Amino acid sequence: MAPDPQKLLDWYDRHRRVLPWRAPAGVTPDPYAVWLSEVMLQQTTVPAVKPYYEGFLARWPRVEDLAEAPTEEVMRAWAGLGYYSRARNLHACAKVVASQHGGRFPSDEAGLRALPGIGPYTAAAIASIAFGQRAVVVDGNVERVITRLHVIDTPLPAAKPLIREAADALTPQLRPGDFAQAMMDLGATICSPRRPACALCPFRGACKAARAGDQERYPLKAPKTERPARAGAAFYARRADGMVLVRTRPPKGLLGGMTEFPGTEWKTGFRLGSADDHAPLPGDWKRVRDKVEHVFTHFALTLSIFRAELPKSTRAPEGARFVREDQLGQEALPSVMVKVWQAATGGGKD
């Protein structure tokens, strides 16, 4: 028995999730809201995205508003959501849409993919959900549903072309946006990674993995390679008047445009004994007992933290600035720097 898209759509009409970026049934979706949510949801969970999405939409209700916002303000609003290149691309895309497209997003995949930061998945999702175009939308939830329906034994990521082909064959001409969201909802609520609720699934009669009782085996994934370990030091310089030294990272690269506490290079084979040579200012630097552990996509980082109390008259070195300690929360601090702040102000000292 082949899976029937209409059964999924009927299920979706009864059980669709209520999400802040999802238009109610019968209401035309706002392409700006769809684009904003899809960019935020890349490699991030729905609960984590909700407050950021609502905050962005309240502050910048139109794409033109976002385009006119200062980059620093956008990065501050994004801080904590991770994968910061998305924020830079989001802002760049808003500027292009506002300046070159009159504030209107292209309605087709090709036009959408020409915009900064929009890849194949995001273009398909926007074209389908916002404009009703038939497009093949495959995220992690859809991959799980498809591999189970068809018992695709090729491990990810090599299985992606097979999954897309099967998803293409299943995607209907009518209501493609609802179908795409229905597949996402199915994977998020029924076809879960562990203990899927197969008895409630609209595809239960057509799922080969469920018939074999082997649904949790899919999708297969290639063995993960071990992340290399890097290390470094960060310096928390606090003046007597409650000002703390920070600097802005270069606009491109890891954590580009974000605020950080001065520190050393992050590298394999870092020697802690050499950390003092990299202190941003002369001072009585004391190492904080607690280290910071943080995992990035391609490496694991360990930071040793040094703290010094400096005179009120201390001037910031070139490329750095002093900000009020009680206003650090308003800076565009990435998660790893929030950890540094917490360790420097709450940890014991050696």
What's the structural domain count of the chain? Answer: 2
Helix ranges, the chain (H): 5-15, 31-41, 46-59, 63-68, 71-78, 85-100, 109-113, 120-131, 140-150, 160-170, 176-189, 208-212, 335-346
Q: Please tell me the distance from the alpha carbon of residue 30 to that of residue 93, in angstroms, as a whole number.
A: 16
Domain that holds residue 317: 229-346
pLDDT for 275 equals 75
Is 136 among the domain residues? yes
CB 97 within 8 A of CB 268: no
Convert 268-295 to b/e letters by CB count within 10 Å (16 or more is b).
eebeeeebeeebbbebebebbebebebe
pLDDT grade for 29, boundaries at 50, 70 and 90? very high
Is 72 among the domain residues? yes
Same domain, 29 and 79: yes
pLDDT tens for each residue of 311-334:
999 999 999 999 999 999 889 999
Residue 83 in 3-state DSSP? Answer: coil
Same domain, 252 and 177: no
Q: How many C-beta atoms lie closer than 10 Å to residue 323's C-beta?
A: 16
Residue 350 pLDDT greater than 50, yes or no: no
pLDDT grade for 120, boundaries at 50, 70 and 90? very high
Domain at 302, CATH number? 3.90.79.10
Same domain, 126 and 161: yes
pLDDT for 333 equals 93
Residue after which a domain boundary falls, among 217, 239, 255: 217
Q: Please tell me the distance from the alpha carbon of residue 314 to that of residue 243, in angstroms, as a whole number.
A: 10
Same domain, 184 and 251: no
Which residue reads 């799980």 in tokens?
Answer: 144
- Pick from 258, 244, 236: nearest CA to 332: 258
Same domain, 196 and 238: no
Domain at 58, CATH number? 1.10.340.30
Residue 276 pLDDT greater than 80, yes or no: no
Same domain, 130 and 167: yes
Is 222 among the domain residues? no
Residue 92 pLDDT greater than 80, yes or no: yes
Q: Please tell me the distance from the alpha carbon of residue 259 to that of residue 78, in angstroms, as a whole number.
A: 12
CB 185 within 8 A of CB 15: yes
Handedness of CA 200, 187, 27, 120 (dihedral sign): negative
Same domain, 208 and 235: no
Same domain, 233 and 121: no
pLDDT for 267 equals 93
Convert 72-103 to b/e letters by CB count within 10 Å (16 or more is b).
eebbbbbbebbbbebbbbbbebbbebbeeeee
Same domain, 105 and 162: yes
Same domain, 87 and 10: yes
Residue 349 pLDDT greater than 50, yes or no: no
Q: What predicted TM-score, i.e. pTM, was given to this entire model?
A: 0.82
Percent of the chain with pLDDT over 90: 84
Greater confidence (42 vs 95) lies with 95
Residue after which a domain boundary falls, among 217, 246, 280: 217
Is 223 among the domain residues? no
Residue 250 pLDDT greater than 50, yes or no: yes
As separate numbers, helices (DSSP H) first and strands (DSSP E) second, the chain gives: 13, 7
pLDDT grade for 129, boundaries at 50, 70 and 90? very high
Same domain, 186 and 254: no
pLDDT for 297 equals 85
| Mean pLDDT, the chain, whole residue set | 93
Instruction: Report which DSSP code applies to 155.
Output: P
Residue 140 in 3-state DSSP? Answer: helix
Q: List active site positions.
A: 38
Same domain, 190 and 91: yes
